Structure 1
């Protein structure tokens, strides 16, 4: 399936009133499909795999903002540190320390989201409340982490048709997001709540999301 241009325009129209950022999830999709959306003005693209991102990034325009949204291993941070725009999937302090180290080596500050576990599924990753607040406290009190910037939270809802369950999970993450803003005013750019994908992005926006990650609606099923 080629890029669904009509759907892209409909999604952009739906997001515009709320100033929600669309991250087009281009994992497994060819360069040509990414360029189709790029020519329409899309600049934020998300990838799940470091190797695939490494292959695509040099072949595409330099003003693309690359979002890494998959589970990130510490030994692969060095490969994306020179250019990644936002890492959505930070789920440990040790990973943050590794990102900070490679950001310093590249003389840049890397924006990160802390991933929170909100789903009713053991296969998903993320921090619980206690771990989240502990990491926020450590970063808040430690000047060594000057090469990273905590920009907000990310979460993935359960894969279910039960909209009440999904809404409950989104509301929970939104509440955590607002609590962090109040308790940690030191993070002056803590303003991103990344939740919602192809199947539930409208529900996510209704419950406070300001960044959605959409792949299959735009590009078709994963190869």
Structure 2
């Protein structure tokens, strides 16, 4: 099947409440344009330089999501245009995003990345680190960022029960933050689920999924 057919098939299966981020990292602009022509407006990239090159070449209505681990010294290259930064896992990074957003008179939307997996290789905050950040005075001073949700990646395992438990843990944390008056945060986005586990993630409450290989085929 073509990229457009893959995309339309996946979209037909997603609830209306779920946002699809087409993970286009390493894929050429021609592939992204095929998805764009089929109606996809949100693309996820994990390297800022590659994302910036695609942003420069492609229609400006496209929303670019940074889904990879972000180094503070690279934030300046995407601050002009990025729509959503998924993997924010420190106050230091939030402060840098805020500083770079000010230069363009923008407010940049961010997701806080939570550590839910049973793996050393994943990044993210634990619950106490999250609460510490959002209740700090330094956080309250940041006027050019907006925390709009949480993101997490489940363990890379075939154990569906473990994956489900990790997704449910993140959903409970999401609900807890939204019902907790200290934070003054109103979270809208719960981003969890990728090509292999997005249906399970949606059943656990995800409203943003990141799908790459099922749309574009396997990566080189």
Fold-level similarity (TM above 0.5): yes
Residue from 178, 189, 192 that aligns with 2:189: 192
SS of residue paired to 2:135: helix
Maintained 8 Å contact 1:3/1:220: no
- Deviation (angstroms), 1:215: 0.4
Number of paired residues? 219
Report the CA distance between 1:142 and its aligned residue. 4.8
| Deviation for aligned residue 1:14 | 1.5
Gaps of 5+ in 1: none
Match status 1:14 vs 2:13: yes
Q: Could you tell me whether the CA contact under 8 Å between 1:3 and 1:33 is conserved in 2?
A: no
Moved over 4 A (4+): none
- C-alpha separation between the residues in 2 aligned to 1:101 and 1:159? 35
Q: Partner of 2:201 in structure 1? A: 204
Selected match of 2:166 from 164, 169, 180 = 169
Residue pairs, 1:126-137, within 5 angstroms: 126-137=124-135
Residue 72 of structure 2 aligns with which residue? 74
- The TM-score, its normalising length taken from structure 2, stands at 0.96
Q: With the length of structure 1 as denominator, give the TM-score of the two structures.
A: 0.94
Q: CA RMSD in A?
A: 1.4
What's the CA shift string for 1:142-190, capped at 9, x where partnerless? 54201000001000011111111110000000000001111146223x1
Classify the secondary structure of the residue corresponding to 1:157: coil
Q: The residue matched to 2:15 in structure 1 has which SS?
A: helix
Gaps of 5+ in 2: none
Higher RCO, Cα 8 Å, sep 6+: 1
Is this contact kept in 1: 2:89–2:114, CA < 8 A?
yes
Q: Distance in 1 between matches of 2:84 and 2:2?
A: 24
1:121 equivalent in alignment to 2:119: yes
